[in-house]
Chains A and B, each alone.
Chain A
Amino acid sequence: MPNKKVLPPQTTLWGRITRYQIIIPLIALLLLVLVNLIADPTFFKITMKPNSNGDNILSGNIISIIDNGSELAILALGMTLVTAASGGQDISVGAGIAISGSVLLRVINGGDPRSETMQNPIILGILIACLVSMAFGAFNGALVAFLKIQPMVATLILFTAGRNIASWINNGELPIVKDESFGYFGNYIPGVPIPTPFIIAIICFIVMFLVMKFTTLGLYVQSVGINDKTSRLNGLNPELIKLMTYVILGLCVAIAGLIKVSRISTINYSVIAKDIEMDAILAVALGGNALSGGKFSLASSVLGAYVIQFLTTTLYKFEVKATALPAYKAVVVILLVVMSSPAVKEKFARLSKKFHKNEAAAGKA
């Protein structure tokens, strides 16, 4: 059977396991956990400590991972849908975070960067930031869906302009929100020991999961991603579905922007969420989703996002400088994608088949 690529179901346990998509990020996670266990078992210690406000909060490496990885996880949700539907990636999410953060700060401070009190309620700021971000998402989506421009190229426009637009919105000023309650979204709500970003990420995931469970959006996205011509023949509207995924990603970007801005109560246009688009795409790839569209798994992507954060924290633990971090990340990524590349997989499959054949022959003899 030279052309049979799919292993028959009765083959080894390994063959059965590897058909689940979530296995790729899980293996990566296990490897990281193992490395950390060997290097330093205290890595996983979680303690309860009072913070500067006197509230008891959880602290430890694991907590910092689920805290700092949350923006990435939220972005990964939207990015997975975009990737699945349009077979391309949005590289403007970092710039989008800058824009939505800038809008949020402008609305809350009412245009006065040094305002002592909040001029508008936070919820109004969040709503407007979400709307603006979704509008930019729709712009990207329209370019991709209706003008048939490749996603990476279409989003290159906002990638170039985004941070500039963000600083334009506030006239180059860096507004600071003095009110304490604004910091709750990026840090801790008094009395809750779990970091708020993680709670927000969980809520986002549950909402998205329910949407996938109780609507046909997931199925539609998948079928458009696999073949948009046949989906049209089946009565779907591929353009509208693609546009919708970009708008959803816009919403995710706004939420991630809220967390990012809330963490420091201010914004730095050129630094905020820098290179996060690369990490978000990586999370999707690490989650085993095909970057060329089609089948997808949200849970795998979210796990992929946290694995990336796990890797970052681990590297910090080994005293890698923040600026040198990308080099190590790159090596890990290359190793992962090489392992999961079809050519290498095929070779492995052939090797194991040979091995089994030999074993069988030996058993017969």
Chain B
Amino acid sequence: MLSMAKTDGAPKTASRKMTDTNLLMTITIVVFFVMYLCAIFFLGEGFRKPQTLFNILSTNSYLIILACGMSLVMITGGIDISVGGVTALVAMSCAVYLEESQGNVWLAMLIAVGIGLAFGLVQGFLIAYLKIQPFIVTLAGMFFARGMTTIVHTNPLNVSSNKDFVSLKDTRIPIPLLGTTNSKGKYIPAKIEIGVIVALVIVIVLFCFLKWSKTGRNFYAVGGNKQSALMLGINVQRTTFISYVICGLLAGIGGFVYFMHVGSGSPSHASGAEMNAIASSIIGGTMLTGGVGNIVGTLFGVLSLALIQNIVASLGLDQPWWTGITIAAMLCIFLVVQSIIISRRKKANLKKAKEG
């Protein structure tokens, strides 16, 4: 029953303490805002413009989508490291379809979703029903997707001749009231890409799904403790399966959003995206042991990760290695803090159980 206490849907204890999920998420959000405020005060200029935030959102909208899928899988206690490969495969397939056979943009979207769904279905089946370790299955999935990308097309391919797609790629949605005036006094409205809207919609839908739907609650139960979930009458296999299918689907959508952002296909696209997605989820308060996690936290995990990259760049540490080292340092700090909080809480719970 300990696992049920972890999920925030369980009956509130008398002390009304914050649950692990909310606590970890709150830390992330606070850290994000503190970092942003520091950036505004000490680095000034660029960070004062709202457009900087929107640029961060536009560049990382695909990562938000991938990390959402990753969080779902991690909440059920699994992992999916194929998402980066699927992103690259989707981008390449769509690029080949649109550029070389002048295809329809809508059909390209369908291809993207189809590829993602196919990966999700196969991996989900192997993991949930054949009980193969998720790491191995999705590792093979990653290898397969990366290899297929070069089989589809060996060299990077830029989509420039498909007018429909180019106009879709260049579409920007203006945000009212948040524009800035440049030195010549001309008003420049703040803009975001379509991908941001897609990502935010997905975040909201998944948040509601995890919070209020029965399947969503089952995810937490399965991740917390498979045995007790089974005893509660939850179909563990199906729940696990669904989580991988959704993750695959989101990888497909994320792949298309990425494709809309870069407008090309390349075997080296989205390299390391799976690790960034895992890192964002962890920073956002999802735990790899399962049962703990929150989509809003994941959103802020991605944003924190992106923000720290921007801060490092504008601090003048322009050697390429600083970005990687700071991200790792941040990940390390978050992990240590998480681990300390969780272990202290466990001890407190034990004490309470002994007393009461």
**Interface residues in chain A, defined as those with a beta carbon under 8 Å from any beta carbon in chain B:** 89, 143, 147-150, 152-154, 156-161, 163-165, 167-168, 172, 278, 281-282, 285, 291-292, 321, 323-331, 333-334, 337-338, 341-344
Tell which of A143, A167, A321 touches B335, judged by Cβ atoms closer than 8 Å.
Answer: A143
- Taking CB atoms, residues of chain A closer than 8 Å to B210 are none
Instruction: Let me know if B139 and A281 touch, CB within 8 A.
Output: yes
Residue of A149, A153, A278 near B139 (CB, 8 A) is A278
A interface SS class: helix
Which 10 A-B residue pairings sit nearest by Cβ, starting from the closest?
Answer: A327-B147, A161-B328, A164-B324, A164-B321, A330-B144, A326-B143, A330-B143, A326-B147, A323-B150, A330-B140
Q: Is the Cβ of A337 less than 8 Å from the Cβ of B282?
A: no
| 21 examples of A-B residue contacts, CB within 8 angstroms | A148-B343, A152-B135, A157-B331, A160-B324, A164-B322, A278-B139, A278-B143, A281-B135, A291-B135, A292-B133, A321-B150, A323-B147, A326-B147, A327-B147, A329-B140, A330-B142, A330-B147, A337-B137, A338-B132, A341-B131, A343-B131
Question: Quick one: given A291-B133, A334-B137, A338-B132, are A328 and B327 in contact (CB under 8 Å)?
Answer: no
User: Is A325's CB under 8 angstroms from B147's CB?
Assistant: yes
**Least distance between A207 CB and chain B CB atoms (Å):** 29
B residues near A338, Cβ cutoff 8 Å: 126, 130, 132
Contacting B130 at CB < 8 Å: which of A161, A278, A327, A343? A343
With both chains docked as a complex, state the minimum distance between the C-beta of A184 and any C-beta of chain B, in angstroms. 31
Residues from chain B with a CB closer than 8 A to the CB of A148 are 339, 343
Q: How far is the CA of A326 from the CA of B142 in the complex (A)?
A: 8
With a cutoff of 8 Å between Cβ atoms, the chain B residues found around residue A164 in the complex are 320-325, 328
Kindly state the separation between the CA atoms of A329 and B336 in the bound complex, as whole angstroms. Answer: 36
Q: Please measure, in the bound complex, the distance between the C-alpha atom of A282 and the C-alpha atom of B275, giving whole angstroms.
A: 18
A-side contacts of B131, CB under 8 Å: 341-343
Question: Known contacts A143-B332, A164-B322, A341-B131; can you find 20 more A-B pairs with CB under 8 A?
Answer: A147-B340, A148-B339, A149-B338, A150-B288, A153-B288, A153-B335, A157-B328, A160-B279, A160-B327, A165-B325, A167-B320, A281-B139, A282-B139, A323-B267, A324-B150, A327-B151, A328-B147, A330-B142, A334-B137, A338-B126
Partner of B328, one of A153, A158, A167, A323: A158
Partner of A333, one of B136, B146, B323, B340: B136
Given the complex, which residues of A lie within 8 Å of B321, measured CB to CB? 163-165, 167-168, 172
Give, as a whole number of angstroms, the nearest-CB distance from B323 to chain A. 7
Residue numbers in B under 8 Å from A341 (CB-CB):
126, 130-132
Cβ-closest chain A residue relative to B343: A148
| Min CB–CB distance A117 → chain B (angstroms) | 28
Residues of the A chain whose Cβ atoms lie less than 8 Å from the Cβ of B336: 143, 147
User: What is the CB-to-nearest-CB distance from A220 to chain B, in angstroms, rounded to a whole number?
Assistant: 24
CA distance A163 to B324 in the complex (A): 8
Check A344/B130 contact, CB under 8 A, given A159-B275, A160-B275: yes
User: Interface code B280-319, partner A: CB below 8 Å = 1, 0 otherwise?
Assistant: 0010000011000000000000000000000000000001
Is B129 part of the contact surface with A, judged by Cβ < 8 Å?
yes
What's the Cα separation between A167 and B132 when bound, in Å?
37
Which chain B residues in 135-189 approach chain A with CB under 8 Å?
135-137, 139-144, 146-148, 150-151, 154
Chain A residue contacts of B139, Cβ below 8 A: 278, 281-282, 333
B197 on the interface (CB 8 Å rule)?
no
Asked if A337 and B135 make an inter-chain contact with CB atoms under 8 angstroms apart, the answer reads: no
| In the bound complex, CA of A328 to CA of B147 (Å) | 8
Q: In the assembled complex, which residues on chain B have CB atoms less than 8 Å from the CB atom of A329?
A: 140, 143, 147
CA distance A69 to B20 in the complex (A): 45
B320 partner residues in chain A, CB cutoff 8 A: 164, 167, 172
A89 neighbours in B (Cβ, 8 Å)? 135
Complex alpha-carbon distance, A327 and B279, angstroms: 26
Residues of B within 8 A of A165 (CB): 321, 325
Residues on B with beta carbons closer than 8 Å to the beta carbon of A331? 140, 144
- Chain B residue with Cβ nearest A327: B147
Is there a chain A Cβ closer than 8 Å to B278's Cβ?
Answer: yes
**Inter-chain contact A156/B147, CB cutoff 8 Å:** no
| Smallest CB separation, B299 vs chain A (Å) | 20
- For the complex, is B329 an interface residue (Cβ under 8 Å from A)? yes
Complex CA gap A326/B319 in Å reads: 31
Name the distance in Å between B282's Cβ and chain A's nearest Cβ.
6
B95 within 8 A of A: no
Known: A89-B135, A330-B141, A343-B129. A324 touches B325 (CB 8 A): no
State how many angstroms separate the Cβ of B108 from the closest Cβ of chain A.
22
Interface flags, B70-97, vs A, CB<8A=1, else 0: 0000000001000000000000000000
B279 neighbours in A (Cβ, 8 Å)? 156, 160
| Chain A contacts for B135, CB-based, 8 A | 89, 152, 281, 291
Chain B residues with Cβ under 8 A from A328's Cβ? 147
Instruction: Give Cα distance in the complex from A89 to B338, angstroms.
Output: 20
Q: How far is the CA of A44 from the CA of B120 in the complex (A)?
A: 40
**Closest CB in chain B relative to A269 CB, distance in Å:** 9
Known contacts A143-B335, A156-B279, A330-B147; is A323 also within 8 Å of B329 by CB? no
Contact B154 A327, beta carbon cutoff 8 Å: no
Chain A hits for B144, CB < 8 A: 326-327, 330-331, 334
Residues of B within 8 Å of A152, CB to CB, are: 79, 135, 288
In whole Å, how far is B288's beta carbon from the nearest beta carbon of chain A? 5
In the complex the two chains form, what is the Cα distance from A148 to B322 in whole Å?
Answer: 28
Closest beta carbon of chain B to A341's beta carbon, Å: 5
Beyond A150-B289, A154-B335, A160-B327, is A291–B147 a contact (Cβ under 8 Å)?
no
Can you name the residue of chain A whose Cβ is closest to the Cβ of B289? A150
Residues of chain A within 8 A (CB-CB) of B79 are 152
A351 to B341, CA, bound (A): 50
